[in-house]
């Protein structure tokens, strides 16, 4: 494999991962606040359909993305209301919405199947695009890709470098303590669930208006379920989650190349790989096996290794919180 081919694979990987980055960051924000939005698959499908239909009729990309974000936020509102206010199982409500919104997208989206529509224009950043290797890889994409880079960094900064980010993490870890310190936990959880849902909606539009422009039934190939897996794989850390999304993109784009070059390895191995990796990471990081595995190491080294490998979910994830 020569370098041009490799750059090709990596460029495809970034394009493949971009919708996933929006969805994964959205879910990360939601889960950090202590809520699981399991509807991801349905949210992405329905917002992809609506985003495409709106952009097509109004001929405005911006309105397409905005309506997709609104759809995502509305579905998140149902999740938040059922989970936070009615204290029903987040898993049950999210799962039902995943199926319902998926079917709604197929039913209502029937008139816009496989018709051409507007797409996000590409934009090559001057000067930077001429840098060898890095240029073609990072600076010859479209607006959405650059926004996704900014989103990753902004979310990381918000989480770990701002006071409100600290509060966000607190309501997912110790809601009772955060409430005692005067945080309106319920309001904040609503807010972050809605923000996360809106980002998932944008992920949908990133499909139908950019990556796989257009709309057809089951357009997004299970990306919602994959996003849920990647958030865990990335340990609820925006940078690690994004790396997980890019790893998935690399595996996917490698699979499509491998189909023609390496016949010995079945391509299904690459498509299934993220899930096997996710399970392995989960087993390694949440069970006691990791401690045993690292026990031969000296104490200080072991502690550092544990800190870097082990990911723990927000302690209050999926739990209801009674404010009054």
| Least spacing, CB of residue 283 vs other proteins, in Å | 4
Strand residue runs (E) in 113-271: 122-124, 140-142
Neighbours of 270 (CB within 10 A): 20
Neighbours of 298 (CB within 10 A): 7
Stretch 118-147 residues interacting with other proteins (CB under 8 A): none
Each residue 23-52 as x (binds other proteins by CB under 8 A) or -, in order, gives ---------------x--------------
Q: Which of 62, 283, 293, 315 binds other proteins (CB under 8 A)?
A: 283
CA separation for the pair 192, 189 (Å, rounded): 5
Considering only 11-19, 158-166, 191-199, 278-286, which stretch makes contact with other proteins by CB under 8 A? 278-286
268/307 with CB nearer other proteins: 268
Chain centroid to CA 87: 25
Q: Which of 5, 122, 287, 304 binds other proteins (CB under 8 A)?
A: 287
96/167 with CB nearer other proteins: 96
147/247 with CB nearer other proteins: 247
DSSP of 63-124, one letter per residue? HHHHHHHHHHHHHHHHHHIIIIIS---HHHHHHHHHHHHHHHHHHHTGGGTT-----PPEEE
- Nearest CA to 21 out of 296, 243, 302 is that of 243
Each residue 289-318 as x (binds other proteins by CB under 8 A) or -, in order, gives x-----------------------------
Q: Which of 21, 147, 227, 278 binds other proteins (CB under 8 A)?
A: 278
Neighbours of 113 (CB within 10 A): 13
112/147 with CB nearer other proteins: 112
12/286 with CB nearer other proteins: 286
Token digits of residue 295 = 């026990």
Contacts of 307 (CB under 8 A, 6+ apart): none
Q: Which of 11, 243, 286, 310 binds other proteins (CB under 8 A)?
A: 286
| Least spacing, CB of residue 254 vs other proteins, in Å | 15
| Least spacing, CB of residue 272 vs other proteins, in Å | 3
Phi, psi (rounded to 5 degrees) for 318: 80, 0
**Using the rule CB under 8 A, is 92 a contact of other proteins?**
yes
44: burial class by Cβ within 10 Å (0-12, 13-18, 19+)? Answer: buried
Binding site for other proteins (CB under 8 A): 38, 78, 82, 85-89, 91-93, 95-97, 99-104, 106-108, 110, 217, 222, 225, 228-229, 232, 266, 268-269, 271-272, 274-276, 278-279, 282-283, 286-287, 289
């Amino acid at each position: 494999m020569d370098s041009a081919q490799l750059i090709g694979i990596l460029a495809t990987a970034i394009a493949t991962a971009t919708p996933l980055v929006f969805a994964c960051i959205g879910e990360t924000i939601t889960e950090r606040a202590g809520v699981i939005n399991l509807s991801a698959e349905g949210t992405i499908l329905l917002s992809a359909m609506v985003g495409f239909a709106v952009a097509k009729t109004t001929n405005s990309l911006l309105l397409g993305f905005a309506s997709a974000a609104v759809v995502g936020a509305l579905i998140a509102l149902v999740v938040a209301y059922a989970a936070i206010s009615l204290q029903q199982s987040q898993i049950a409500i999210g799962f039902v919405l995943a199926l319902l919104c998926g079917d709604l997208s197929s039913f209502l989206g029937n008139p816009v199947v496989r018709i051409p529509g507007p797409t996000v224009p590409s934009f090559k950043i001057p000067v930077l695009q001429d840098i060898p290797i890095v240029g073609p890889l990072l600076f010859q994409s479209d607006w959405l890709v650059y926004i996704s880079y900014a989103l990753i960094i902004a979310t990381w900064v918000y989480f770990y470098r701002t006071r409100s980010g600290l509060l966000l993490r607190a309501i997912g870890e110790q809601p009772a303590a955060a409430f005692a310190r005067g945080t309106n936990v319920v309001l904040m959880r609503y807010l972050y669930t809605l923000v996360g849902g809106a980002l998932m909606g944008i992920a949908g539009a990133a499909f139908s208006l950019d990556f796989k422009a257009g709309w057809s039934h089951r357009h997004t190939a299970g990306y919602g379920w994959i996003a849920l897996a990647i958030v865990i794989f990335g340990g609820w850390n925006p940078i690690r989650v994004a790396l997980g999304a890019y790893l998935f993109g690399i595996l996917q784009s490698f699979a499509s190349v491998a189909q023609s070059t390496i016949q010995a390895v079945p391509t299904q191995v690459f498509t299934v790989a993220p899930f096997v990796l996710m399970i392995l990471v989960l087993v390694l990081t949440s069970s006691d096996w990791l401690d045993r595995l690292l026990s031969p190491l000296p104490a200080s080294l072991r502690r550092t290794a544990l800190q870097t490998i082990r990911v723990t979910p927000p302690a209050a994830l999926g739990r209801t919180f009674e404010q009054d």
